[in-house]
């Protein structure tokens, strides 16, 4: 499933399962799918690059056959190259790495693409878009972190809207946004050029299908008005 490469100008959304009940993961994902989710965002954290510790390729391998949606792995880890083969074997559709944690980014992105997944970079809030300018030919999408990676439920950093706008001027690659996305912030990032909306706490704080649908609709409405 090549979601990012076949988006064109569509706005889509997906749940970040960090905010889900991990004991009922597949069910939690299905609830968001009922609300129109088109991907599942899977946060791997290592207590090194970020202070938190979450899930890895074993959980991804269990989730992939249980969902119809492409699984989008976001690796907030040092040395992602060590984990990428296992995530590819697990069948994830896309993998983003944090370029701040990678020494040989070209090699890392090639590893992802050669394994048949779409490749992305996730930029910390203060990492400039120019940092990845020379990586653009090896990317299928760019993920803008609109909070500091590591935890769900943080407040959206408003300056990231300008950063998305800058990235949009640099590239036609799809821009994904992660962190503090709600029905209120989704229109701001879509208006600036983002197309893939990831939301964790805003989806799982209530009925996931209803909340997911609200966020996607808010983003699509903004796209209609601004394009
Ligand atoms: C943060 C993670 C996000 C997180 C978003 O490090 O990458 O995916 O789950 O959570 P919310 O939507 O609650 O900000
Ligand atoms: Zn994430």
> Is 185's pLDDT higher than 90?
yes
CB of 45 within 6 A of ligand 1: the answer is no
> Is 227's pLDDT higher than 80?
no
Active site residue 178: yes
What domain count does the chain have?
1
Residues 6+ apart with CB under 8 A from 171: 136, 142
153: confidence class by pLDDT, cuts 50, 70, 90: very high
CB of 150 within 6 A of ligand 1: the answer is yes
In this predicted model, what pLDDT tens digit does every residue of 188-217 receive, in sequence order? 999 999 999 999 999 999 999 999 999 999
> Is 1's pLDDT higher than 80?
no
> Is 152's pLDDT higher than 80?
yes
CB of 123 within 6 A of ligand 1: the answer is no
Q: Please state, for a pLDDT cut of 70, what percent of the chain lies above it.
A: 100
Tell me, in angstroms, the distance from the centre of ligand 1 to residue 66's CA. Answer: 22
Tell me, in angstroms, the distance from the centre of ligand 2 to residue 41's CA. Answer: 6
> Is 119's pLDDT higher than 90?
yes
Which atom of ligand 1 sits closest to the CA of residue 156?
A: 14
Q: Please state, for a pLDDT cut of 90, what percent of the chain lies above it.
A: 99
> How many other β-carbons are positioned within 10 Å of the β-carbon of residue 137?
9
Active site residue 43: yes
Q: The CATH number of the domain where 144 resides is what?
A: 3.20.20.70
Q: What is the 3-state secondary structure (H, E, C) of 34-85?
A: HCCCCCEEEEEEECCCCCCECCCHHHHHHHHHHCCCCEEEEEECCCHHHCHH
CB of 19 within 6 A of ligand 1: the answer is yes
> Is 93's pLDDT higher than 80?
yes
Q: Nearest CA to 142 among 159, 126, 118, 158?
A: 118
Task: Please tell me the predicted confidence (pLDDT) of residue 198.
Answer: 99
Task: Please tell me the predicted confidence (pLDDT) of residue 18.
Answer: 98
Catalytic residue among 9, 43, 81, 140: 43
The strand pair at 118-123 and 94-97 is best described as parallel
* Rg, the chain, Cα only: 16
In this predicted model, what pLDDT tens digit does every residue of 99-115 receive, in sequence order? 999 999 999 999 999 99
Q: Give the Cα separation of 144 and 160 in Å (integer).
A: 8
Which atom of ligand 1 sits closest to the CA of residue 19?
A: 9
Point out the ligand nearest to the CA of residue 197. 1
Which atom of ligand 1 sits closest to the CA of residue 153?
A: 13
Range of the domain at 103: 4-226
- Rounded to the nearest integer, the mean pLDDT of the chain is 98
CB of 178 within 6 A of ligand 1: the answer is yes
65: confidence class by pLDDT, cuts 50, 70, 90: very high
Put simply, whether the predicted model's pTM sits higher than 0.95 gets the answer yes
Which residues hold their Cβ within 5 A of ligand 2, which is an ion? 43, 74, 178
Tokens representing 11 are 């706005």
Q: Give the Cα separation of 84 and 157 in Å (integer).
A: 29
- Cα 82 to its chain centre, rounded Å, is 20
Tell me, in angstroms, the distance from the centre of ligand 2 to residue 192's CA. Answer: 20
Mean pLDDT of 41-48: 98
CB of 147 within 6 A of ligand 1: the answer is yes
Tell me, in angstroms, the distance from the centre of ligand 2 to residue 176's CA. Answer: 10
Mean pLDDT of 72-84: 98
């Amino acid at each position: 499933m090549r979601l990012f490469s076949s988006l064109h100008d569509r706005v889509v959304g997906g749940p970040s399962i960090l905010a889900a009940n991990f004991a009922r993961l597949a069910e939690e994902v299905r609830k968001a799918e009922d609300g129109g989710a088109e991907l599942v965002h899977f946060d791997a954290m290592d207590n090194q690059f970020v202070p938190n510790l979450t899930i890895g390729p074993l959980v991804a391998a269990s989730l992939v056959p249980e969902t119809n949606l492409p699984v989008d792995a976001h690796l907030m880890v040092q040395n992602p190259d060590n984990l990428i083969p296992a995530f590819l074997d697990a069948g994830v559709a896309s993998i983003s790495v944090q370029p701040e944690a990678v020494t040989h980014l070209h090699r890392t992105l090639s590893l992802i693409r050669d394994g048949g997944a779409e490749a992305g970079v996730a930029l910390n809030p203060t990492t400039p878009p120019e940092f990845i300018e020379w990586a653009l030919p090896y990317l299928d999408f760019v993920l803008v972190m609109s909070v500091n990676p590591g935890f769900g439920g943080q407040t959206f950093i408003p300056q990231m809207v300008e950063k998305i706008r800058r990235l949009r001027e640099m590239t036609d690659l799809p821009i994904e946004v992660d962190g503090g996305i709600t029905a209120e912030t989704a229109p701001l990032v879509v208006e600036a050029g983002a197309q893939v909306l990831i939301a964790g706490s805003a989806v799982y704080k209530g009925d996931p299908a209803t909340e997911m649908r609200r966020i996607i609709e808010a983003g699509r409405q903004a796209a209609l008005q601004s394009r």
